[in-house]
Structure 1
Amino acid sequence: MNSIIRRAGSDLTEPLRRLLEGDPGSWLRVEEYREDGTLVVKAEVPGINPEKDVDITLVGNELQIDVRHEEKNEHKDKRGYRSEFRYGTFSRTVTVPGPVDEKDIRASYNDGVLEVRIPIPEGAEAASRKIPITRGNATGAAGSGTGERASAAQT
């Protein structure tokens, strides 16, 4: 399975890749939407210190968000002492539409929600075009191309 994942490389979306690798708990769940020419990425990550526990990096058109979370609870009572802890690193890569200057990216943390705002370059919206689909052999090129290949193979 891992060899298939390695060959597929970046063609797989990150959540699917992590699921196939058997590590769905290590990816950061995000909400991603566009608002007024801005790509907004939100992640619910309560109980962290954003200055210490969050790294946001931009490599090419990939925005990488890494969050470290550590939680420790201690209970002391007449029957004894109990300590519980949870920790882990969560990450997510988001593809940014078009070239973006990292100085224009804004990140904030409020009430347990990390929000990253990425301005979308003007050309990125216009680059999307709908491709028409034809039915059947509308141009006749498919039939003639097959015959040409067949006759070329025979000679």
Structure 2
Amino acid sequence: MVTPVRGQHGLLPDLIDWVESFPTMFGFRPMAGVQGIRVEDFVEDGKYVVRAELPGIDPGRDVTITVDGRLLTISAERTEETAEKNRSEFRYGSFARTVALPADVKEEDIKANYTKGILTVTAPVAETAEAHRKIEIETGDDS
């Protein structure tokens, strides 16, 4: 079973996604210096999984993954240049994204894999009791 975890990290990541997805009325992005990395995170089969969209980079040279406390940061640098007859084009930039790790993640067992432009970071989550329970609603007597 896949359990999305975005809501557990609060409102800030959702706001950042919203701001990054809409240019301002003047056509520039407010966070243009360091661009965000599109990610999805979820818990599946006892593992916390973060999938990051990083096409066209060399993961061994251009990507850094760090853990500081309960924060996992993925940073990447892109430098790309193409040249054709009478025309050249280049793209470059820094990208970064930080996500909060669940409290019960086993940091020492975090692993990363890069396939077809997608960086997948996995970390085992300690076995814990199910956190969901139903709360009964008490009703007052209206008479």
TM-score by length of 2: 0.70
After TM superposition, list the pairs within 5 Å mapping 1:1-155 onto structure 2: 12-17=11-16, 19=19, 22-23=30-31, 26-76=35-85, 81-123=86-128, 126=129, 128-130=131-133, 132=135, 134=137, 138=140
From the superposition, tell whether residues 133 and 29 of structure 1 become closer, same or farther in structure 2 (CA, over 3 Å).
Answer: farther
- Counterpart secondary structure, 1:83: strand
Q: Which runs of 5+ in 1 are unaligned?
A: 1-9, 139-155
Name the CA distance, whole Å, in 2 between partners of 1:69 and 1:135.
57
Q: Which runs of 5+ in 2 are unaligned?
A: 1-8, 21-28
More strand by share: 2
From the superposition, tell whether residues 88 and 131 of structure 1 become closer, same or farther in structure 2 (CA, over 3 Å).
Answer: farther
Q: Which has the larger radius of gyration?
A: 1
More helix by share: 1
Letter of the structure 1 residue corresponding to residue 79 of structure 2: E
Per-residue deviation, 1:132: 2.6
* Count of aligned positions: 123
Runs (4 or more) in structure 1 with deviation over 6 Å come to none
